[in-house]
């Protein structure tokens, strides 16, 4: 009788599980993300005060919001690759020091142009933070289950920062001038800098190769004129300048893709590893990331002004209305890590986008005298949908990249976020501004008319110096015009979310 020997299989060793130091490091990595999220949310709530103090026109007001994410989006890929080369912890340290210093300078801007320049500088240093954070996280958490949970915790920093921003911003704006919303960054930066070296490991590529400076220039030429074209169309319609900017962006984008492919074929390392996008999972994850931030920044742009300038709420009261939506984002993000064990990406991501679209659909019913409860419910739905999507898509993108290209993969994910943030304010903000300017009615002439018809904040400021009857008529028309603009803007946001949800379903129809 012949003995039957058991069959043995060679199995890959289980990934090393993270220890206590890694989880402490995650707490440190949480803070820079919290910092950026607070900065964006606080600024949204400070827009009415900035409008009254600096009197920017509608275009400058949009640039105050957009200068930061625009520069950030243009440089994220470059900084992610730079971090892979020189060390992610080192780049994170430089970014933190610069971010803190420029935040202090931004607080004392004397006009709209100075504030736009400061926001652009914040974008430059902010671009060093986010790819470094995600790349270090990818290095710390090798085990897929632990990494997914760590990503969920990290992603909640966006929502936590957004939740803290209105509260902190409301307190600051009630007791100090608008510049205090930038000064709040400085103590957070100092705290993170003290913890970086003892807790965060240094990591970089083994063979980085030469930097692609031409690729850097092309990526900037694709990002900056593209957003400028959107802004020009929203402000003035289809003009020769808008067409020229769009043409530059398209040509630069095509040349950038061509260069990345040529460098990869020659055995050199391109700025973006386009092979990451060969799989449908990565493509739809990047698209979903961009769309969630498109919806989120658009919501913040109009809701803060709607609550304060249309419904007459204080900054603190407006912040409290939006807090439940931020909490929903946190809970949905943490819950997504557990749901991912039972449901595939092709189910969870469209579901999240659909929930967010339902919230945006509710926003189409907002009027000049609506109850704030309607907006509160809408923000809860939007926050829950975004939180569900973010954790799943970030994990899919990081899992697709080798460890030594974690910075570049992180940059791809963060670029999607920031491009979405830019487009959210540029597209939805331009739609809102166009509807407002086209429907507000006033008998004013000269500079006062120009100010009142540019922004709702300008109309509120002008009305303060008019007789009671004239002020009431102007404010009534301006609030009705702004509320109509919110309705149209929300309809555009709803359509965008549903379109991307259908795209994800189609793109992953045969994938798990």
SS3 content of the chain, % helix, strand, coil (to 5): 80, 0, 20
Mean pLDDT along residues 84-100: 84
Smallest CA-to-CA distance from 92 within 62, 118, 121, 131 is with 131
Buried/exposed 73-110: b ≥16 CB within 10 Å, e otherwise = bbbbbbbbbbbbbbbbbbbbbbbbebbbbbbeebbebe
What's the pLDDT at 234?
A: 59
The pair of structure tokens assigned to 404 is 């030594």
Tokens of 293: 């931030």
408 band by pLDDT with thresholds 50, 70 and 90: low
Whether pLDDT at 10 is above 60: no
Say whether 434 sits in a helix, a strand or coil.
helix
pTM for the structure as a whole: 0.72
Q: Is the dihedral angle over the CA atoms 120, 122, 125, 130 positive or is it negative?
A: negative
34-43, 100-109, 294-303 — most confident range: 100-109
pLDDT for residue 67 is more than 50? yes
Question: Which pLDDT does position 98 carry in this prediction?
Answer: 92
Return the top range by mean pLDDT from 116-125, 290-299, 419-428: 116-125
Whether residue 205 is predicted with pLDDT greater than 50 in this model: the reply is: yes
pLDDT in the model for residue 407: 54
Per-residue pLDDT reduced to its tens digit, 263-304: 878 877 777 777 777 777 778 888 888 888 888 878 877 887
Tally DSSP H helices, then E strands, for the chain.
Answer: 18, 0
Q: Is the confidence at residue 421, as pLDDT, over 80?
A: no
Is 511's pLDDT higher than 60?
A: no
pLDDT tens-digit readout, 48-61: 778 877 878 777 87
pLDDT: is 460 or 377 the higher one?
377
Residue 78 to residue 75: CA distance in whole angstroms: 5
> Residue 365: what are its φ and ψ, rounded to 5°?
-100, 5
Within a 13 Å sphere around the CA of 306, how many CA atoms are in the beta-carbon half? 35
More confident residue, 312 or 488: 488
pLDDT of residue 401: 63
Confidence at residue 400, expressed as pLDDT on a 0 to 100 scale: 67
Of residues 280 and 408, more confidently modeled = 280
Cα(378)–Cα(100) distance, integer angstroms: 34
Mean local confidence (pLDDT), 475-484: 86
List the one residue out of 451, 425, 431, 486 whose CA is nearest residue 119. Answer: 425
């Amino acid at each position: 009788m012949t003995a039957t020997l058991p069959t043995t299989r060679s199995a890959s060793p289980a990934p090393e599980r993270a220890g206590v130091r890694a989880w402490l490091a995650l707490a440190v990595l949480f803070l820079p993300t919290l910092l950026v999220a607070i900065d964006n949310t606080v600024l949204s709530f400070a827009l009415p005060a900035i409008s009254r103090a600096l009197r920017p026109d509608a275009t400058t007001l949009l640039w105050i919001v957009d200068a930061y994410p625009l520069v950030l989006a243009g440089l994220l890929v470059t900084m992610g690759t730079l971090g892979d080369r020189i060390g992610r912890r080192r780049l994170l340290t430089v970014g933190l020091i610069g971010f803190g210093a420029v935040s202090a300078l931004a607080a004392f801007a004397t006009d709209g142009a100075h504030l736009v320049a400061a926001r652009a500088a914040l974008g430059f240093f902010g671009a060093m933070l986010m790819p470094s954070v995600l790349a270090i996280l990818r290095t710390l958490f090798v085990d897929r289950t632990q990494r997914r949970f760590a990503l969920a915790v990290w992603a909640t920093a966006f929502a936590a920062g957004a939740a803290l921003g209105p509260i902190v911003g409301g307190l600051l704006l009630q007791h100090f001038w608008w510049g205090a919303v930038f000064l709040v960054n400085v103590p957070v930066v100092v705290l993170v800098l003290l913890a970086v070296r003892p807790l965060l490991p240094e990591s970089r590529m083994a063979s980085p190769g030469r930097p692609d400076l031409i690729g850097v220039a092309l990526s900037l030429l694709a990002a900056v004129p593209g957003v400028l074209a959107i802004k020009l169309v929203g402000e003035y319609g289809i003009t020769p300048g808008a067409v020229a900017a769009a043409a530059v962006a398209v040509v630069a984008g095509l040349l950038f893709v061509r260069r990345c492919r040529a460098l990869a074929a020659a055995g050199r390392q391109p700025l973006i590893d386009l092979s990451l996008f060969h799989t449908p999972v990565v493509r739809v994850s990047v698209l979903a990331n961009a769309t969630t931030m498109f919806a989120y920044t658009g919501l913040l742009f109009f809701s803060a002004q709607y609550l304060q300038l249309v419904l007459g709420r204080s900054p603190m009261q407006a912040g409290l209305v939006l807090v439940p939506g931020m909490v929903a984002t946190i809970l949905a993000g943490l819950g997504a890590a557990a749901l991912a064990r039972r449901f595939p990406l092709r189910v969870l991501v469209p579901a999240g986008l659909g929930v967010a679209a339902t919230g945006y659909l509710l926003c189409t019913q907002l009027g000049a005298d609506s109850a704030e409860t309607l907006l509160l419910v809408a923000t809860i739905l939007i926050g829950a949908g975004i939180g569900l999507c973010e954790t799943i898509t970030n994990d899919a993108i990081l899992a697709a990249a080798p460890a030594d290209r974690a910075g570049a993969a992180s940059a791809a994910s963060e670029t999607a976020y920031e491009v979405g943030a830019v487009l959210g304010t540029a597209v939805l903000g331009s739609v809102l501004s166009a509807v407002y300017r086209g429907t507000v009615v006033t008998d004013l002439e000269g500079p006062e008319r120009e100010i009142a018809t540019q922004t709702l904040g300008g109309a509120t400021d002008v009305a303060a110096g008019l007789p009671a009857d004239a002020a009431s008529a102007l404010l009534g028309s301006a609030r009705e015009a702004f509320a109509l603009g919110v309705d149209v803007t929300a309809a555009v946001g709803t359509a965008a979310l549903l379109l991307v949800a259908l795209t994800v379903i189609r793109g992953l129809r045969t994938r798990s």
